[in-house]
A and B are shown apart, each in its own frame.
Chain A
Amino acid sequence: MFAYVVRRILATIPVMAIVALFVFSLLYIAPGDPAAVIAGDQATPQDVERIRASLGLDRPFLVRFGEWVFRILQGDLGVSIFTNLPVTTMIQQRLEPTFSLMILTLCLAVTIAVPMGVVAAWKQGTLIDRAVMGFAVMGFSVPVFVVGYLLAYVFALELDWLPVQGYTAFSNGLWPWLENLILPAIALGGVYIALIARITRATMLEVLQQDYIRTARAKGAGQRSILFLHALKNAAVPIVTVIGIGVALLIGGAVVTESVFAIPGLGRLTVDAILRRDYPVIQGVILLFSFIYVIVNLAIDLMYTLFDPRIRY
């Protein structure tokens, strides 16, 4: 097991290297010019050219790539072209809001979606099942920003229960932290709840028809015990897989959610950096996201062993 974990962690190095090369190349060939953005609309072409030279953007691809890789190997993601701040500092400033949002969304989604899926499978074909599936379809269909606006309108503007926007650090208190994240987490969690609920239902339906479930019933096991102890544990592997895949969904959804609720997270940092062509920031953030995704996948693989003892690495 330990050897497997080490092997998987080492395998992230070539993955990250390929991501780095891909991202750098893509940004190099992509249109757009940070120097033009910095210089402003009234700048002359000569101004733009001088800024480009001062930023080193006029140097050849290989020189720039080599320098960047050399710095990364030293743990330095570079300095933002625009803010003059280290990329690591900018990422650190944004990590907490995004992770808070993602963790809360994840908790909310799993807490709601798994029981929903279980109940839907148990009550297959009933009104409850249809309601759950209807909700799932709606969760997939309604864009995050629409849900976000509706929630903000009802719970912030009309009822005045929660703030419209912003983020308060966890160090300032549990409730201030939570009250800023409730609406974004619900908005972002919609798709995720739908996804997990559907997978849970489908997997549970399959498991509930297995022989050992009939045996458990014959032995007189209660419905709750059958559903949550016998069936759900055996249905867990695909559910956990979907939860892992959904992290990518969350990262994508966070971009929109953070914009709608003005949360200063990594999603907004990414969009701002892309629009301004702040290459070091884009590269740093994408590397981070790739790393997170690789680690989440590893965690999911390791979790399989908790739910299915037959799986051994």
Chain B
Amino acid sequence: MERRNFLKVTAAAGALGGMAGLAGPALSQGAAARTLRFVPQANLANFDPIWGTQYVVRNASAMVWDTLYGVDEKLAVQRQMAEGEEVSSDGLTWTIRLRPGLKFHDNEPVLAKDVVASLTRWMPRDPMGQMLKAIQQELVAVDDRTLRWVLKKPYPKLLYALGKTNTPICFIMPERIARTDSFTQISDYVGSGPMRFLRNEWVPGARAVFAKFDGYVPRQEPASWLAGGKRVMVDRVEWHVMPDPATASAALQNGEVDWWENPITDLIPTLKRNRNIAVDIADPLGNIGSFRMNYLNAPFNNLKARQAVLMAMSQEDYMRALVGDDNNLWKPLPGYFTPDTPLYSEEGGEILKGPRNLDAAKKLLAESGYSGQPVTCLVAQDQPITKSMGDVTADLLKRLGMNVDFVATDWGTVGQRRAMKNPVGQGGWSMFHTWHAGADCVNPAAYNALRANGDGAWFGWPDVPAVEQAVAEWFDAPDLAAEKAVIGKLNRVALENVVYAPTGFFLGYQAWRRNVSGVVKGPLPFFWGVSKS
């Protein structure tokens, strides 16, 4: 073919393609109103809430899979797929009955054997599940709608374990899917919840789409977080992943998306000025900032060195670095539990209160025997929260007279390196920064970061038997008063030993267009009850 002919053919093909395209379908206004476009906090890179326990996976999964029980906005556990339960007088045998009419997305009924398989897959991945597994004697389906769980010792927090918002949530999947090993990813996404996951429209890193499941039978009670009637008011929920906050902000202002889960604080004034956009706190349970000091390596294998850092640190410095001048977004936190929740305690929190005493901290550090060895401080620069806190810590340690080895890296590297128990200088580390969702810190149930069982503990491997004793007492506490008493003690011993350093409590905003209604505050975005005009 000659060049000219080739060009003519190419141009003609382009024009034809274009004409065909111009005749393409357009989204009607009605259809647009039935589609909710949402910008999530992160990319939905996988879709197995047991295998991958990232919050974004949990948030998407909550639409697709239902739970036996669900925590409501008062942090009380309510029945969800469960119609009712009986517990034997010795507290060892639980019998749970399913609601009638429950269906999976393939229209197969939800049976007790599906629940048994789902519980079995969930247990190894969840701290409370692991405790249950350790004391489990029998877990069987008695009939299609009834299962029996026999334990070797009472576990009063069982219903909370099955209904909590902490990841991994105990989602109910069909038996054939739930038989997959807990450490192997599933590839079949048939759910039990109010929305179906449209796998063929999933473009990881860009888009995930969920469609209303007409066969879902909601409860009659009003929706409240994971509990109550999960009534979906739109046909589709589209997640549009936008790595750049400025783009997400512009898209929201331009009406190209309807709801943005986590706008950054810098952009909030711009969004607030737009009369088409509503801005409010996203999650009243917020987050707890933290850095963890390594109990295995000097200098933080010495209690006095850890206490010196705690004594010198200013939570206000950390929080200002995170949220700027917006005083609505942070609180000092002289403790480890989420503020404004029933178990919140400041017992033992004096070391974090009042004016900071750098001289006393230096003296304490000297008493610890610190002699200028390097303090390897891991800081993920690709996470704004850890980057900000890392900068404050580096300055703090220098003012204390420590020899800071500031390792500026990315989260993937921190994730790998923090697991290394080697000495500093051989790949090991002294401290790293992170944060915990406030929902995970309302009690010790799923609070890995507070555990202090040495080798079995979270990174940093604190070994404080008194902390473990208090956690065990909480699990056995019969009522709220007893729980409060135990939590006060736990807070004190954990702070005395500096299980980790809390840098403060902070909140985040969410923003949505005013033609969207029903957005609620919560530890995750709840899509039921949200409509669009």
Contacts and interface: CB of A to CB of B under 8 A. Distances in A.
B206 A268 contact: yes
A32 B413 CA distance: 4
A156 B45 contact: no
Interface string A112-140: 00000000000000000000000000000
B254 A157 contact: yes
A164 B254 contact: yes
Q: How large is the interface on A (under 10, 10 to 19, 20 to 34, 35 or more residues)?
A: 35 or more
Contacts of A166: 240, 251, 256
A72 B378 CA distance: 37
Given A157-B250, A272-B43, A264 B411 contact: no
A54 B43 CA distance: 23
Given A44-B458, A82-B45, A163-B254, A32 B247 contact: no
Contact of B250 (A44, A165, A176, A264): A165
Give the residue among B167, B247, B458 with the most A Cβ atoms within 10 A: B247
A41 interface: yes
B203 interface: yes
Interface string B1-34: 0010000000000000111111110000000000
A262 B21 contact: no
Contacts of B19: 174
B254 A275 contact: no
Contacts of A153: 250
Contact of B46 (A33, A84, A306): A84
A291 B346 CA distance: 61
Given A31-B409, A33-B415, A262 B22 contact: no
Q: Is the interface of A mostly helix, strand, loop or mixed?
A: helix
B183 A176 contact: no
Contacts of B53: 39-40, 42-43
Contacts of B528: none
B494 interface: no
A44 B448 contact: yes
Interface string B412-445: 1101111100000000000000101000100000
Contacts of B20: 173
Interface in B131-185: 166-167, 181, 183-185
Contacts of A165: 242, 247, 250-251, 256
A260 B413 contact: no
Interface in B180-210: 181, 183-187, 203-207
A198 interface: no
Give the residue among A44, A149, A268, A277 with the most B Cβ atoms within 10 A: A44
A157 B253 contact: yes
Contact of B204 (A46, A83, A149): A83
A37 B240 CA distance: 21
B401 interface: no
A156 B250 contact: yes
Contact of B242 (A46, A149, A175, A262): A262
Interface string A32-59: 1110111111111111111101100000
Give the residue among A156, A174, A262, A276 with the most B Cβ atoms within 10 A: A262
A176 B21 contact: yes
A54 B246 contact: no
Contact of A260 (B46, B203, B247): B247
Contacts of A164: 247, 250-251, 254, 256
B17 A174 contact: yes
A152 interface: yes
Contact of A80 (B204, B242, B246, B248): B204
A43 B50 CA distance: 11
Give the residue among B52, B244, B409 with the most A Cβ atoms within 10 A: B244
Contacts of B185: 84
B203 A36 contact: no
28 contacts: A32-B412, A32-B416, A36-B416, A37-B411, A39-B52, A42-B446, A44-B448, A44-B458, A51-B51, A53-B183, A54-B181, A82-B204, A83-B46, A84-B48, A93-B203, A156-B254, A165-B247, A165-B250, A170-B17, A172-B21, A173-B20, A259-B244, A260-B246, A262-B241, A262-B247, A262-B248, A272-B45, A275-B410
Given A31-B409, A275-B410, 5 more contacts: A41-B54, A54-B183, A84-B46, A93-B203, A262-B241
Q: Which 10 A-B pairs have the closest CB atoms?
A: A264-B206, A36-B415, A173-B21, A33-B416, A174-B18, A40-B53, A32-B412, A173-B24, A82-B45, A164-B250
Interface of B: 3, 17-24, 43, 45-46, 48, 51-55, 125, 166-167, 181, 183-187, 203-207, 240-244, 246-248, 250-251, 253-254, 256, 382, 409-413, 415-419, 434, 436, 440, 446, 448-449, 456, 458-459
